[in-house]
Amino acid sequence: MKKIKVCVLRTAGTNCDKETAAAFNLAGAQADLLHINSLVNQKAALSDYHILALPGGFSYGDDVASGKIFANELRFKLAGQMREFIHQGKLIIGICNGFQILVKSGFLPGNEDLQQEASLIINDSGKFEDRWVHLKSSKSKCVWTKNLPKIIYLPVAHGEGKFITLNKEVLNKLKNNGQVVFQYCDGQGRLAGYPDNPNGAVENIAGICDSTGRIFGLMPHPERHIFKEQHPGFWNQPKNVKADGCGIFKNGVDYIRDKISEGVL
C-alpha cells in the first residue's frame, strides 16, 4: 500500500508544526513539514499529499488578526490547489491557529464562494488562556472523531479563541447539519461557563467540520496529548488509559488508508 502522506503547512510564526508531524507519524503516516511558499511558488504540489494539516502557533505574529494573513494566502494564492484537494476527497485539519485560518479563509464552515461566515475573536477574559479543558463530543459527521470517548481532555493555548458566527442562521445550520464537533464542558459533560469554556465561545463551540465531515478545525491542541504521560493527572490515571489526542490523528490516517484500499485515492 502507498504511504499516507501528510503536508504540515507552516509559515513565519508557526510553532506547533513538529508536534503535529510527530502525531501523524505516530499514527502511521509520513508527515512532511512544508513552508507555504513552496506551494505558492510551485516548488511542491499539494496534490502529492492525502492530508493537509494547519498547525498552531502565531502565523505572521497574528498581525491584523489571528490567522488572517495566512487565510488570505490560502484564499487568494492557493484556492485552486485547495479546491482540487478537497474535490479529490482528501482530509484537512486545522488546530488552534490552523482553525482560525480555515475559518477566516472560508473553508470552514465552507461555501462555494469562500465567504467568511464565522470567526474566532478575543477571549472574553481579555487574556491568553493556557490550561487543560474537557470537550464533549457532539453527534457530528466528522470523520476525525469517530469512536472517540464522549468526553476528552486536551490543552488550550490561545488569546483569540472565542467562536462566533456571522448570524444565527449560520449557527443553526452548523447545529442542524451535524457540523458542531466539540463543545467545552465540565468534567461531567455539562456545558458550563468560564473557566470550563475558556474563551466565551457561542454555544461552547470548540471545534467544527464542513458539510462533508472531512475538513475539521478545533481550538484545543490534540498534538499535545499523544502520550498518556502528558496528561497533568497521569500518575492517578489507570495504567491502560490512552492519550485523548491520539484518536483524532489515527482516525484521519485510517480514513485515508481505507480510501486507498477501496481504490478511491
In tens, the pLDDT along 176-219 reads 999 999 999 999 999 999 999 999 999 999 999 999 999 999 99
Report the CATH number at residue 181: 3.40.50.880
Instruction: Calculate the average pLDDT of the chain.
Output: 96
* Burial readout 161-188 (b: 16 or more C-beta within 10 A, e: otherwise): bbbbbeeeeebeebeeeebbbbbbbbee
Provide the pLDDT for residue 236. Answer: 82
Marked catalytic residue, from 7, 96, 142, 246: 96
Count of domains in the chain? 1
List, for residues 12-25, the tens digit of each pLDDT value: 999 999 999 999 99
Question: Which one is catalytic: 50, 134, 158, 221?
Answer: 221
Residue 240 has pLDDT above 80, yes or no: no
For 87-113, write each residue's pLDDT tens digit. 999 999 999 999 999 999 999 999 889
pTM of the full predicted structure? 0.97
* 50 among known catalytic residues: no
Cis (ω within 30 of 0) for the bond into 238? no
Q: Which domain holds residue 176?
A: 5-261
Residue closest to 227 by CA, chosen among 3, 30, 19? 19
223 is annotated as an active-site residue: yes
Q: Each residue of 72-90: pLDDT tens digit? A: 999 999 999 999 999 999 9
Catalytic residue, candidates 117, 223, 225, 231: 223
Residue 218 one-letter amino acid: L
